[in-house]
Structure 1
Amino acid sequence: MSSLQRKGLQARSLSSEEEEKLKRDQVLVSDFKQQKLEKEAQRNWDLFYKRNSTHFFKDRHWTTREFEELRSCREYEDQKLIMLEAGCGVGNCLFPLLEEDRNIFAYACDFSPRAVEYVKQNPLYDTDRCKVFQCDLTRDDLLEHVPPESVDVVTLIFVLSAVHPDKMHLVLQNVYKVLKPGKSVLFRDYGLYDHAMLRFKAGSKLAENFYVRQDGTRSYFFTDDFLAQLFLDTGYEAEVNEYVFRETVNKKEGLRVPRVFLQSKFRKAPKSPVPGDPGLGQES
């Protein structure tokens, strides 16, 4: 797999065949079915993990390489980093991070109770180093498990795309509440015209850039502008917001598959210093 990160570019150009496919596929799933999908979202993800157990996603050992902020966001070298992995799945990102960095305490949550149980059954699960819990990020559940303004960094990795676009701002609001002032959300998710978007068959479209898979799970494909506006409207400051272009090569079948992701970093503004405060100039 080759990787190239490009700054200041739009999502990839489409072939004429791809453009024609997207033009033809304009019929939306009925309102009745869309409401049913929303109501059954947790059940569909639970069934996904029942079918796939812990074998579907590979461990994400690339996380600290791609997100150097997980190291650099410390204020001093031996600082214990408190992080939240919002949408942890079965721990494919969580456990590699805990293995690589012994000075992290991680809160981790997922929408699926079954996924959370798989995390707790992992031999690497250690309650001294992580707290894992089931949570609906679109509700106020998060504050029941994580103290307000207590987290140094939040990761949102292939999570927000599974949330209905009308509720994405709720996720960002709830994450904002537990994040310390001046600290950041690290984001990675599907970008517009990713190969996965172009594979959907007719009848899978829920809304612009929003699709349903055969198993009932859903996926949104982000533009950088849409994502930036979503974070900015919730009170964050943009630090990095870039497309990542990759090409997956299947040598056996002779296929080259274009992948498009968004990799971003958004910060909660530091608290404004109070005049006369002896801690003036120091970040909380």
Structure 2
Amino acid sequence: MEATANISKSLTTEELECLDMQNKRIVTDFKANLLETNARKYWDLFYKRNETRFFKDRHWTTREFTELINDNHSSNLERRVIFEVGCGVGNFIYPLLEEKLNFFIYACDFSPRAIEFVKANKLYNEEYVKAFVADVTTDEIFHVINDNTVDIITLVFVLSAIHPEKFVTVLRNIWKVLRQDAIVLFRDYGIYDMAQFRFKPGNKIAENFYMRQDGTRSYYFSLNVLRELFVTAGFEVLDISYIHRRTINKKENVDVPRIFIQGKFKKSIY
């Protein structure tokens, strides 16, 4: 278990027992490899089932990440370039477009079906946004975006869906398309988030990495792990912290604590 200063909260006896039970039956190597091989298929099926209904539009992003509204360019006429990695059906980009901020937005997703939904939105206009299918663990993004051209990259609940062995590769790929001193805005699942304790024995793939019933996967980050990943990939850590929120649904009588991890990272030279 990680040092107390690094984790998001102290664990109860029940939570410790839950983590212990998860370790008693781990996903087999064969199944883990199958999940990796079929990752795109599982996310495509996810969007086939849920279409645009699953995730809510992220109107909180400009509040949490003021860099999106603070333009430090010498001329406000210069349009900034944003690259959203893992755009899903557009829950991040369309609230930004509605605010009429001075951006050109690249948006990619692993799922071809998700990109179809992005392009079907009435706000989609390639004068302001270009959406495309890409696996960011490969060089596919470079077929669309040139090196050293992006001002801000957003990674919002995306890296956790990728195999941990590929985290640094992803970060090094996005490092290449960022301008010098450009930034990455990051939010994802924090270690010991409520959702981590919902996994039953047989769903754990590796440390803090789990399989959902639909075949998609989720990793839960600690401060130390996230910091080391970005530093290894050539970034300077500007800010990193746990974010404690609550998920509330009065209609379904749901009120549960959530733990996310949030950070801001600047491109620096290797």
TM-score class normalised by the smaller sequence:
over 0.9
d(CA) in 1 for partners of 2:208, 2:188 = 13
Residues 119-169 of structure 1: per-residue CA shift (max 9 Å, x gap): 011111001001110000000011100011000000000000000000011
Please say if residues 6 and 223 of structure 2, whose CA atoms lie closer than 8 Å, have aligned partners that are also in contact.
no
For 1:91, the equivalent position in structure 2 comes to 90
Aligned AA for 2:150? V
**Residue number among 28, 31, 35 corresponding to 1:30 in the alignment:** 28
**TM-score between the two structures when normalised by the length of structure 2:** 0.94
For 2:9, the equivalent position in structure 1 comes to 12
For 1:274, the equivalent position in structure 2 comes to none
Q: Judging changes above 3 Å, is the alpha-carbon distance between structure 1 residues 15 and 253 closer, same or farther for their aligned structure 2 residues?
A: farther
**Runs of 4+ with deviation above 6 angstroms:** none
Aligned partner of residue 72 in structure 1, secondary structure: coil
d(CA) in 2 for partners of 1:129, 1:251 = 37
Please say if residues 26 and 201 of structure 2, whose CA atoms lie closer than 8 Å, have aligned partners that are also in contact.
no
For 2:66, the equivalent position in structure 1 comes to 68
Aligned partner of residue 69 in structure 2, secondary structure: helix
Aligned AA for 1:117? E
Aligned AA for 1:140? D
Aligned partner of residue 132 in structure 2, secondary structure: strand
Shift of residue 25 of structure 1?
A: 1.3
Moved more, 100-109 or 251-260: 251-260
Q: Judging changes above 3 Å, is the alpha-carbon distance between structure 1 residues 251 and 13 closer, same or farther for their aligned structure 2 residues?
A: farther
Residues 163-187 of structure 1: per-residue CA shift (max 9 Å, x gap): 0000011110110010000010000
d(CA) in 2 for partners of 1:9, 1:253 = 33
Q: Judging changes above 3 Å, is the alpha-carbon distance between structure 1 residues 9 and 254 closer, same or farther for their aligned structure 2 residues?
A: farther
Shift of residue 230 of structure 1?
A: 0.4
For 1:279, the equivalent position in structure 2 comes to none
What stretches of structure 2 of length at least 5 have no aligned partner? none
Aligned length: 264
What stretches of structure 1 of length at least 5 have no aligned partner? 1-7, 272-284
Aligned AA for 2:29? D
Residues 81-114 of structure 1: per-residue CA shift (max 9 Å, x gap): 1110011000000100111133110000000000
Q: 1:182-197, aligned counterparts within 5 Å?
A: 182-197=181-196
For 2:41, the equivalent position in structure 1 comes to 43
Shift of residue 201 of structure 1?
A: 1.5
Aligned partner of residue 146 in structure 2, secondary structure: coil
Aligned partner of residue 221 in structure 2, secondary structure: coil
Alpha carbon RMSD of aligned pairs, Å?
1.6
Q: 1:153-192, aligned counterparts within 5 Å?
A: 153-192=152-191
Shift of residue 270 of structure 1?
A: 6.6
d(CA) in 2 for partners of 1:169, 1:36 = 22
Matched, 1:233 2:232: yes
Please say if residues 108 and 132 of structure 1, whose CA atoms lie closer than 8 Å, have aligned partners that are also in contact.
yes
For 2:266, the equivalent position in structure 1 comes to 267
Please say if residues 22 and 199 of structure 2, whose CA atoms lie closer than 8 Å, have aligned partners that are also in contact.
no
Shift of residue 252 of structure 1?
A: 5.2
Please say if residues 9 and 243 of structure 1, whose CA atoms lie closer than 8 Å, have aligned partners that are also in contact.
no
d(CA) in 2 for partners of 1:255, 1:13 = 23
d(CA) in 1 for partners of 2:116, 2:152 = 24
Aligned AA for 2:59? H
Please say if residues 182 and 270 of structure 1, whose CA atoms lie closer than 8 Å, have aligned partners that are also in contact.
no
Residues 65-87 of structure 1: per-residue CA shift (max 9 Å, x gap): 11001122532461311110011
For 1:103, the equivalent position in structure 2 comes to 102
d(CA) in 1 for partners of 2:208, 2:6 = 19
Shift of residue 257 of structure 1?
A: 1.0
Please say if residues 6 and 222 of structure 2, whose CA atoms lie closer than 8 Å, have aligned partners that are also in contact.
no
For 2:149, the equivalent position in structure 1 comes to 150
Q: Percent identity?
A: 52
For 2:131, the equivalent position in structure 1 comes to 132
**TM-score between the two structures when normalised by the length of structure 1:** 0.89
